[in-house]
Amino acid sequence: MYDERYTSRFGFRMTPLRWAMFAFMVLFLAVAGYRFVFGLGPVTNLTDQWTWGLWKYLVFPAVALAGCGYGTVFLAHVLHIRAFYPIVRVAMVVSLMGYSVAMVGLLFDITVYYNFWRPFAYWGYTSILFEVLWCMTLYWTIQILEFGHIAFERIDAPIIYKALDKAMPVLICVGIMLPTLHQASLGGLFIATTQLHPAWWSLWIPWFFMISSLMVGPAVVAFSCWALCRIYGKKFEELMPSLNPLILVGAALMIFYTVLKVWDLTARGAWGYVFEGTLQGNMFLLEHIVFLLVPLVMFLTPSIRNSVGGLVTASLLCGVGVVLNRTNVMFTGMAPAYTHSYFPSWMEWVGFAGLLVGALLVILFFVENFKILEGISDAEEAKDSAVSPVTVQG
């Protein structure tokens, strides 16, 4: 519903850091232009062995961290738990930008980019990538529409807002199925890559990817809320009553994930690979002890969970753990199968960082101009008590 409290024009506060970020985006656009004119060969350090490099990699952690969207939306909008209303919009916006980074990153990475639409016309239904692409594209569209529902509170177009409002229940229900499927399928992609180190290669890898994307969600929400509160001078403590139960949901999922991992390693008899003392084994231990068990214990300790410093630190560790997991699956775990080494070129790094910086700028713009940090608007909350919406013009 259009909210008359928005009176000022759209704006974006410029700080020296933001000027620097924009300057970097100019460099990014130059690299992007170079890449689309000359192709991947001159721009990247990819080889026939390391054929998936930094840009393809970007999709995996970005989408995993964007898992904060569907989990929180499920709790707030499907289960209608009021405690999560104040934070659900932050989760949605961070998730939307995570997917945007992934989708644009994919366009950067495919060599025949004018053929990007082909999978939708030539159904390669046997490929897990086919499912990933369909679900990611549809979910991205749905997230944009869901964000539209927020944006049109401010932009006065009652017809569009009402249409979106009507569609929201459908968008939400379909919009949770899609990431459930493709988070798993992103892991499923690595069923086919049997060269992956046995510490990670498992037929259960789809479920590991799905559960880890869900369990990292609360941590991403907590960290994002904290960062945004700091930037915009809001009281983070006010969000703690929402974040506390959310973090416990995440911790429960982390326990489930840990149990599944132990079960999987035992069933496959793969413990030997974990303790083999190689880079792969050690990275596996680092990932699962420092960045899974440590934050889990921190989340479960009330005194740490209830302190801002403890909550944010544990969230950061948990987030790094999931990013490290994707890094290990794509790079560390693949390395033994290849004779070449791979380190991204500077242009790959600029593309990688540019997409992230761009997403960050958009998040800041959204938060400054729409009601994100405020949580679900009063109007929407009132509507939950079956009050019919009233459109205010002006």
Q: Which residues bind another protein (CB under 8 A)?
A: 37-42, 46-49, 51-52, 56, 74, 77-82, 109-116, 118-119, 122-131, 133, 169, 172-174, 176-177, 180-181, 185, 188-189, 191-195, 203, 206, 337-338, 384-386
DSSP one-letter string for 317-368: HHHHHHHHHHHIIIIITTGGG-SS-----HHHHHHHHHHHHHHHHHHHHHHH
Query: Based on CB atoms, which residue is closest to another protein, 123 or 232?
Result: 123
Cβ neighbors of 394 (< 8 A, separation 6 or more) are: 4
Rounded to a whole number of angstroms, the minimum distance from the CB of residue 215 to another protein is 19
Nearer to another protein, 121 or 390 (CB): 121
Measured CA to CA, the distance from residue 291 to residue 166 in angstroms comes to 42
Q: Which is nearer to another protein, 228 or 330 (CB)?
A: 330
**Whole-number minimum distance, CB 180 to another protein, in Å?**
6
Amino acid letter for position 61:
P
Which backbone phi and psi does 376 adopt, to 5 degrees?
-60, 135
When the beta carbons of 8 and 126 are compared against another protein, the nearer one is 126
What is the C-alpha to C-alpha distance for residues 370 and 373, in angstroms, rounded to an integer? Answer: 8
If the CB atoms of residues 55 and 366 are measured against another protein, the closer one turns out to be 55
Shortest Cβ 270–another protein spacing (Å): 14
CB burial of 327-351 (b: ≥16 within 10 Å; e: otherwise) equals bbbbbbbbbeeeeeebebbebbebb
**Per-residue DSSP letter, 10:** P
User: Rounded to the nearest whole angstrom, what is the least distance from the CB of residue 52 to another protein in the complex?
Assistant: 5
When the beta carbons of 5 and 80 are compared against another protein, the nearer one is: 80
Nearest distance from residue 330's CB to another protein, in Å?
A: 10
- At residue 320's C-alpha, the angle toward residues 128 and 255, to 5°, is 75
Give min distance, CB of 299 to another protein, in A: 25
- Assess contact for 140 and 95: CB atoms under 8 A: no
In whole angstroms, what is the distance from residue 95 CA to residue 187 CA? 18
